[in-house]
Structure 1
Amino acid sequence: MSGSNVVRRAAVPLLLSLPLLAMAQDLRVGLAAEPSSLDPHYHNLSPNNMTSRHVYDTLVSQDAKQTLGPGLAESWKAVDPTTWEFKLRRNVKFFDGSPFTVDDVLATVKRLPNVPRSPSSFAPFVAGMTFEKVDSHTLRVKTAAPAPLVPTNLSTFGIVSKACAEGVSTEDFNALKCQGGTGPFKFTEYKPGDRIGLARNDAYWGNKPAWATVSFRFLTAAPTRVAALLAGDVDVIEGVPPTDIPRLKADANIDIAETLSNRVIYFHMDQFRENSPFITAKDGSPIKNPLLDRRVRQALSMAINRPAIVERLMDGAAVPAEQVLAKSFFGTSPKLQPTAFDLAGAKKLLAEAGFPNGFKMKMHGPAGRYTNDTKIIEAVAQMFTRLGIDTEIETIPPANFFSRASTGAGGLPEFSFILVGWGASTGETSGSLKSLMGTFDKAKGSGAANRGRYSNPALDAKLQEALATVDDAQRAALLAEASEIAFNDVGIIPSHYQTNVWASRKGFKVQARSDEYTLATGISR
C-alpha cells in the first residue's frame, strides 16, 4: 500500500499586507481537555494522542474516518502470513537534523512497554511482534501467528528519535527537551493548566501546514470555550456543549462541523477484589464485592436510562451505546442492543443476587474530561439510588483521576465504580476489547486500560482467534462474537457514543474526525 496526499493552495494575493498575512497564519484553538503529558508514549489518552500527532509522526497514518494511509512508512506489504515489511521514507529528518531510520523505530517500540507510571500503555499495540532491521529504511515485523492488524496497530503511536527514546524521560518531554520529532510542528511552550504552543516545522517532509503558529488553550469549562469563540479570543473550539449547538448553528458568524465519534462513555467496575474499597452494606459494614456477580452488573445496567441521558443531558448529541463502538465500525455485533431501562427488572435481579435492600457505593469520575461528565455521574447516581443502592459521587481532576484509577495504592486500580470514556484509536473493535476487557497481563500487552480487571477466558480466546484471522469478513464475525461474549457478561457498562462537534469563526473550516482529534493540519481558511 502506498500513496501521498497532494494539497494545492491558491496563490496569496500580492496586495495582502504583511501584517494581515501574519495574522492569517496564526491559529488559536480552545481545547475541551488537557493532555496529561507531552510524552507521546506516557498515556494512551485522546488529548495526549491528538497533541502528539502534531509533533511525532506515526509509521502509518489515519485520515478523518480512520482509513489507513502512508506516514513515515511510505508502503508496506505482507511478505508471508506472519511477516510484514515496511519501506520507510528517506530524506526525513528529526528537528535536530539527524536522519530518520529503522533504528529510531526499533528504539521507539522498545520504549513503549517501559514508560514508568504509565496510566494506560501503548504496549498492546506491539505485543507479540518482533521488529527486525533489514536495512536503514526497511523494517520487518514478525508474529507467531497471522496478524492482519499490524499496519493498524502501527498507526496508533508516534515515532521518536533513538536519542529521545533511550535518553529522555517523561519529565524531560514535558520540559520540551526532546528534539526527536519529524512532525509538521514543534512544541514551543507548555504551560500546564493554560496552553501549548506550536511552531511550523519548515523542514517537514510532507505538505507544509498553513499555520506558522498554533496556540492550544485549555478551556475545559464549556461556557468558557463558547464565550472565547464568540468574543474572538479563539478561532476554533472543540467539544461544543450540546445545549449551545442550536444557537451556534443559527449564528451567521459561526460554522459547525460534526460527526459520530469513535468514543464510548462507559462504566468500569471492580471485578477482582473480594472486598471493594468503596462498597459496603448500608450500615457501613463490610460485604463481599457485589460487582463480582453478573446479576448485579446487569441490574446496574438496566437501571441506567440511556435515552434520558442522550435527550436531557446530551441534548441529542449522542447515541445510546451497547458495545465499544457504534455499529458502523468494523467488528461490531449487529445482535447487541442498548440495555433497556427496566427498574423493576433490575430490582428483581438485585434481589436474586442476594441484595434485596441494595448496598452503599461511591462512584468516581474525572471532572471536565468528557462532555457533561459530572452531570452524567450525578444522574446515574440518582438512578442507582432509585434501584436501592445508596450512591455517593466524587469527581477528580482528570490527571489525578486516571493515575489513581489505573495504578493507585500498591499499583492496583483504586476505585470500585468509575465513569470513563474510550476512543478506539484503531477504528475497529479489537483494540478496544483487548485494552478494556482483555485479562490484565502486562507482559502480553493485554488489559492495559482494564481498570476493573475483568477477566473472561472465553473472550481472551475469541480475541486471540480473531487477531490471527487474515480474512476481513471472518475476522469481523469473530470480533462480533467477542463483543457478544464481553457485553452479555457485562464486562463494562456502556452508556452512549458521543457526537464530535466543533465550532469555528466564519471562514475557518474544520475537518470533523471520528477519532475526536482537533488537528491544526485539518483546519483551513
Structure 2
Amino acid sequence: MRHLAPRLRLHWAVPLAALLVATAKTAMAQSLTLALAATPTAVDPHFHNLVPNNAIAAHVFDRLVHQDERQALTPGLAESWHALSDTEWEFRLRGGVAFHDGSPVEAEDVAASLRRVPAVPNSPGPFTQFVRGIDSVEVLDARTLRIKTRGPQPLLPTDLSVIAIIPRRFETASTAEFRSGAAMIGSGPFRFESFTPGDRVVLARNDAYWGGAPAWARATLRIVPNDSARVAGLLAGDVDGIEAAPISQLDALQRRQDMRLWRTTSNRVMFISFDTFREVTPEAAARDGQPLPANPLRDVRVRRAISMAINRPAIVERLMSGQAIAAGGLLAEGFFGASPHLPPPAFDPDGARRLLREAGYPNGFRLTIHGPNDRFPNDEQILQAVAQMLTRVGIELRAEAMPFNIILSQGGPPNHAFSAMLLGWGSNTGEASSPLRGLLATPDRGRGLGVANRGRYSNPALDEIIIRALGTVDDGSRRALLEEAQDRAMADQALVPILYQVNIWATRNTLAYVPRADEFTLARFFTPAH
C-alpha cells in the first residue's frame, strides 16, 4: 500500500502560473542566491534530523521516495514500490542514474545508506525512528531490493522519503568527511561545491539529473538568521529570494511591485515541553526562592493551568499578524491523522489560577523557560509573551532566549538542563505519527521512539496506541488511532501546543516558487516567472 498525504487546506491563493515549472533555455546559465533563516548544524545527511540540514541535503542527495510540496509521495530513486505482504516490501530503482562522480546508483548503495543511519555517533536528533522497524534488506539485483520489517509497517515508503542515499563507499564516513566535502557526493539536482559554516553553501547544477536539470547553473544558499539582514539583502538585489519572510515586514514587501510572497500552512507546531521525568526539577522554586519539595510540572493540573493561561488568539493576531494558526493539537487541519477534537484551548486565566490552587500552589511558583532566538518566526517574542501571560496567573516565569544550538545541546540528552522549553516540531512524514513517536513516545532510541522527547514524558497507555498506529495497514484505522493518541496526550497535557506556523517566502517578481509545507527552501523549485 502506498500512502499519499492528503491535500492541505491553503489559506492564501497562489497564482496558477507560478506553480508551473519553467526551465527556459535563456535561464539555464543564471545563478540563484537565496537567504536562509535557519542555521544548519551539519551537512552529513544522516547526522541530525533538522529541517535546515534536511533541506540542504535534498539539493545534493536523492531519496528512494520523494515528497511534493504538500508531502504526497512521488517516485524518487525508486521508480516503483509495492508491499509483498504486511512485512515485506520491494523497491525497484530507476535505471541509468549516476552519482555525481559517475558511479551508478545501485541497490547496494541503498542498503549501505540504511545501515549507516543507526550507526552515526553522537546525533542530537537521530534518523533511527525512520528505520527502526527494518529487520533486513536484501539486494536482489542492481536495481531491486527487498525490505523486511519486524512487523506491519505501512509507513515504510513515507519513512524512507526522509533517508538520503549515499554511495556505498561512504557507509563508514565520518560527519567530518561530509563537512569537508570529501563525502558530499550524491545523485541530486545539484553538486556540492563548498560549505562555510555559519555563512553559505555553494552548489553547482547536475546537468545529468534524472528529474531534469535545474534552471540555475549555480545556487548559493546564504545563512542569514537576522530578519532585517535577509530583507535588506533582498531589497538590495544581493539575494533573489528569502525564506521565513519576517512578519513585521510583510505589508511593506506586499506593497512593492518588484516583490512576491509565497505562503502555505506549515507542518510545524510550536509548543512548550516540560520536564515531567524528575521528582525535583532544577529550575522551579517557590515564590520566595526556596526549593520546592516536588516537581510541579509532573502534576497534570499545573500543565493544564499553563495551557489555559496562554492567550493563543492574541499571540496569533498581535505577534504573528495573523500569519499563524492557534493550536490545540500536534498538527494542523488537513494533515493525515490531525485530530478534529482538539480546538485551541480557551484563554481562561481564572481557571488557571483555580487549578494551581487545587494542585497546592495558591501563591504560584517560580519557573524558568528556555527558547530559541534564531530558529522560528518571532520565537523570542512568543517566549516573552508566554512568560508575561503565565506571570499574571501566579507562575513567575523567567524567559531565557538563546541560540537554537544551545537549546539542542543543553536541553536534551545527556544534559537535560532545563525544566521547560519553547520548541517547534515539523512532521517529516506529513502525518500525526511523526510528532507522536518523536515527541511523546517514551524515549527508546533502539526502537526509534521519543528521539526528541526532551522532557522525557512517559505514558505507557499512549505508547501502546502509538505503536499500534505505526503497525496498522488500513488508512482509516490508522487515522483513528492517531487521533485517539493525540486526544489522550492532550487530555494529559503532555505538552502545550501554541500555534501552527505559516511558511512564507519572499522573492523578486522575476521568480516563482512553490511554497512547501515542510519548510524546505529548494533551489530546484525556484523558476523564472513567466
TM-score category, normalised to shorter length: over 0.9
* 253-262 or 128-137, which deviates more: 128-137
List structure 1 runs of 4+ shifted beyond 3 angstroms: 6-12
In the alignment, which of 28, 31, 54 is matched to residue 26 of structure 1?
31
Q: Paired residue for 2:311?
A: 305
> Could you tell me which residue of structure 2 aligns to residue 63 of structure 1?
68
Which among 376, 400, 405 is matched to residue 394 of structure 1? 400
Q: Does 1:151 align with 2:157?
A: yes
Counterparts in 2 of 1:20-99, with a 5 A limit? Answer: 25-99=30-104
- Following superposition, the deviation at residue 7 of structure 1 comes to 6.4
Equivalent residue number for residue 455 of structure 2 = 452
Give the conservation status (yes or no) of the 8 Å contact 2:214–2:524: yes
The answer to whether structure 1 residue 248 and structure 2 residue 253 are counterparts is yes
SS at match of 1:443: helix
Query: Within 1, Cα distance between the matches of 2:119 and 2:386?
Result: 37
1:349 counterpart residue number:
355
Residue 526 (structure 2) pairs with residue 523 (structure 1) = yes
Alignment-derived partner of residue 18 in structure 1: none
- Counting only pairs closer than 5 Å after superposition, residues 31-430 of structure 1 correspond to structure 2 as 31-130=36-135, 131-166=137-172, 168-287=173-292, 288-407=294-413, 411-430=414-433
Structure 1 gap segments, 5+ residues each: 13-20
TM-superposed CA distance for 1:114, in Å, is: 2.4
- The answer to whether the 8 A contact 1:95-1:179 is kept is no
Code of the residue aligned with 1:323 in structure 2: it is: G
Distance (Å, rounded) in 2 between the aligned partners of 1:329 and 1:296: 30
Give the Cα separation in 1 of the matches to 2:380 and 2:481. 36
Residues 301, 493 of structure 1: 8 Å contact kept: yes
CA distance in structure 2 between the partners assigned to 1:406 and 1:137 by the alignment: 40
Q: 1:332 to 1:372 in 2, by over 3 A?
A: same
Q: Which amino acid aligns with 2:217?
A: A
Give the secondary structure class of the aligned counterpart of 2:445: coil
* Mapped partners of 2:397, 2:180: distance in 1: 41
* Amino acid aligned to 1:188: E
Which position in structure 2 is the counterpart of 1:492? Answer: 495
CA shift in 2, pair 1:170/1:489, >3 Å: same
- The amino acid across from 2:148 in the alignment is K
User: Aligned-pair distance for 1:286?
Assistant: 2.2
Equivalenced residues, count: 509
8 Å contact kept, 1:164–1:180: no
Percent identity between the aligned chains? 49
CA distance in 2, matches of 1:179, 1:30: 21
- Which segments of 5 or more consecutive residues in structure 2 lack a partner in the other structure? 4-19
1:381 to partner: Cα distance: 0.7
CA–CA distance in structure 2, aligned partners of residues 198 and 487 of structure 1: 43
Cα deviation, residue 283, structure 1: 2.7
1:477 equivalenced with 2:490 (yes/no) = no
Q: Distance in 2 between matches of 1:318 and 1:182?
A: 36
For residues 38 and 9 of structure 1, the distance between their equivalents in structure 2, rounded to whole angstroms, comes to: 27
1:443 aligns with 2:456: no
What is the aligned partner in structure 1 of residue 10 from structure 2? none
RMSD between aligned alpha carbons? 1.6
Alignment-derived partner of residue 431 in structure 1: 434
With over 3 angstroms needed to count, the CA separation of the structure-2 counterparts of 1:204 and 1:485, relative to structure 1, is same
Task: Tell me, yes or no, if the aligned pair for 2:21 and 2:525 is still in contact at 8 Å.
Answer: no
AA aligned opposite 2:115 = K
Could you tell me which amino acid in structure 2 is paired with residue 457 of structure 1? P
- Using the alignment, how far apart are the partners of 1:157 and 1:301 within structure 2? 35
CA contact (8 A) 2:349 2:393 kept: yes
SS of corresponding position for 1:57: coil
Return the alpha-carbon distance in structure 1 between the equivalents of residues 21 and 391 of structure 2: 55
Q: Secondary structure at the match of 1:273?
A: coil
